[in-house]
Structure 1
């Protein structure tokens, strides 16, 4: 089986974490199917540096996966019909280059409805190849109803199948008219997070109850609510008994550091900044619980990573975590509600000894390992190809 993946975002030298979930999925699938990637980087013309950066399409092997790496400049923004004609011609020309080296794909898997899903649709219609779309974006409704209603409507009506990473996204996709939508979650590398012991002394913490949050330091992650809730927890439980670890960087990091000072909890908070994935695994294995304080999450992969390390999770009801958090592995609380988040953290602390780390790890292994998720995706591919071959 030959599979072509068209991502919206994909890691680059400048931004190695952009679209990293898609790349991890591609790498995992490459163990079971013949897979290639059409990586189309869209560079806005308004930045002159993009003209210098632009290069011809290159065929490269990225993690042993044949990848067509292309750049596209938005050259004629005011003449839409001409821009679209040039855009399609380049799209097909680039695909022909990939096809001559990879062969004709049996199926195209796009990630995000627009523009990747639209590109998959155009190629699929011209070359008679079925396509499906995995939707990840929290801006799906804006994309469909405001920014690109006509093009996304075509994608929704012609895609063989849709995949949503959570129940929340599935409801939105079905509301937009695509009833054939399955939930297939993101996955984690179980072995990476299930460490038997941590040898790095850097992560040897005290006997305090260590809470961790891993996120981009941006407004939608709700870190201000977390810090205010943590202040209330300290007032009730005592600062000598609890510590908060914040992992991640972003535009609001300095603001949150200042807020922790204003709240009088700076000594009980550690801002670790960005950490490499192997260090994230180590710090998780030295903490007691993870807190997700986000306003919106289409999935919330950090929750699964924490549970792979055996940690219970306190999470706001923000979209994705509702699919995997239950009474045996964590607590759900109201989003953007300091009082509710405070209660959730205290509940986890009080009942910590009742959480079975082995059960939590096995729950992730049985539902969110790469093997489990890849099997579901490949089964979906086979059904679509079989249906197409009937006609």
Structure 2
């Protein structure tokens, strides 16, 4: 099949996480299936986000990349939508000149909507994968409610990256949703049997209000008031100064180490030194960093925030209530006191079986085959 994946962008040296979930999936589909993969990186960010403007076409990692860079940023939604749809129409037409497009796969609600509009009346099946935490709310903004109404009911298949997100979409829009997790590139997060572990705890994420490092710092101070272990925090963001002040106020500034942004390889090395992983997020549609920690054999502490409930269990960690300082403290102590009960090799092996590229790519490919077959039988238009 000829598959067109529509993404927010593509990872670069400057913006390593831009479109990372979508691109990891595209690479795996190219490697583990017989499909021809076109990756449309539709980057509509502000002019301040540096990249080469215009449309550029090249091959990378077995994927045919078409990068469409339009410096828009904060423009009215209707204008943004019109430009995006027009650009996609041109790209779809361009791809179709060399052969039929069998299926289009838009990631995130906006690209799902743009894909449906651009493929209108073409009879090409459109699959939409939802990652957005904005769609995992009971009270949606008008913008996202309208996008959901225009998108989910028209898509041939809606995928959510976690069961909690899928249930919320079903509740808000009354559509059937398939759950398929993100592919996690585990090449940099292989289990190290010979890791020299300390008693330090590691956490990784943007220093934002949603990641809620404040509760983790408070809980760490309560759970381990005088021990010489450290809390290692990897990431950067607008909350850094506030978090440094909080660590000072709680009397543990010398035991909280802010590492800043690190590469995947550097994060993997830091995980090899840690006792376990902890992150007290308020809302998560999936949680790739938890999977990366588990792949390294680290038990994890996670909040019941939407994503981790699908894969964190008593064999690999502990789930606590989000915003519950008491439960977080209790969870940290539990992992510390019972750390020898966890089989690190088994934890890592379980991740490989569930989230490796080959496993998830085959699930997605089967969904493509089923969707194309179903569409050919009912002749549905977008």
Instruction: Please indicate, yes or no, whether the TM-score normalized by the shorter chain is above 0.5.
Output: yes
Q: Which residue number corresponds to residue 315 of structure 2? A: 328
Q: Which residue number corresponds to residue 28 of structure 2? A: 28
Q: Which has the larger radius of gyration?
A: 1
Could you list the per-position Cα deviations for residues 268-320 of structure 1 after superposition, in whole angstroms to 9, with x for gaps in the alignment? 22211111111111111221110011111111111111111111111111111
Moved more, 180-189 or 346-355: 180-189
Output the CA distance in 1 between the equivalents of 2:287 and 2:83. 38
Output the CA distance in 1 between the equivalents of 2:82 and 2:131. 28
1:206-221 matches, within 5 Å, as: 208-221=198-211
Classify the secondary structure of the residue corresponding to 2:133: coil
Moved more, 242-251 or 183-192: 183-192
Q: Which residue number corresponds to residue 292 of structure 2? A: 305
Task: Provide structure 2 residue ranges, at least 5 long, that are not aligned to the other structure.
Answer: none
Classify the secondary structure of the residue corresponding to 1:120: helix
The match for 2:119 among 116, 121, 124 is 124
The match for 2:188 among 161, 182, 192 is 192
1:43-58 matches, within 5 Å, as: 43=45, 55-58=53-56
Q: Which residue number corresponds to residue 347 of structure 1? A: 334
1:192-271 matches, within 5 Å, as: 192-196=188-192, 208-235=198-225, 238-240=226-228, 242-271=229-258
Task: Provide structure 1 residue ranges, at least 5 long, that are not aligned to the other structure.
Answer: none
Q: How many residues align?
A: 375
Q: Which residue number corresponds to residue 348 of structure 2? A: 361
Q: Which residue number corresponds to residue 374 of structure 2? A: 387
1:38-187 matches, within 5 Å, as: 38-43=40-45, 55-72=53-70, 88-101=85-98, 103-114=99-110, 116-140=111-135, 145-187=141-183
Greater relative contact order (Cα 8 A, min sep 6): structure 1 or 2? Answer: 2
Classify the secondary structure of the residue corresponding to 1:390: helix
Output the CA distance in 1 between the equivalents of 2:56 and 2:9. 17
Q: 1:120 to 1:357 in 2, by over 3 A?
A: same
Q: Which has the higher helix share?
A: 1
8 Å Cα contact 1:144-1:152 kept in structure 2 = no
Output the CA distance in 2 between the equivalents of 1:5 and 1:79. 22
Output the CA distance in 1 between the equivalents of 2:71 and 2:374. 37
Output the CA distance in 1 between the equivalents of 2:318 and 2:80. 50
Q: 1:93 to 1:124 in 2, by over 3 A?
A: closer
Output the CA distance in 1 between the equivalents of 2:87 and 2:334. 57
Shift of 1:182: 0.9
Q: 1:86 to 1:214 in 2, by over 3 A?
A: closer
Q: 1:79 to 1:43 in 2, by over 3 A?
A: closer
TM-score (norm 1): 0.88
8 Å Cα contact 2:109-2:130 kept in structure 1 = yes
Q: 1:149 to 1:267 in 2, by over 3 A?
A: closer
Aligned CA RMSD, in angstroms, stands at 2.7
Classify the secondary structure of the residue corresponding to 1:280: helix
Moved more, 304-313 or 70-79: 70-79
Could you list the per-position Cα deviations for residues 27-66 of structure 1 after superposition, in whole angstroms to 9, with x for gaps in the alignment? 111112210112222145xx6x68x977432222233421
Moved more, 31-40 or 71-80: 71-80
8 Å Cα contact 1:247-1:274 kept in structure 2 = yes
Output the CA distance in 1 between the equivalents of 2:214 and 2:230. 16
TM-score (norm 2): 0.89
Could you list the per-position Cα deviations for residues 57-99 of structure 1 after superposition, in whole angstroms to 9, with x for gaps in the alignment? 222223342122223465996795x887666444322321233
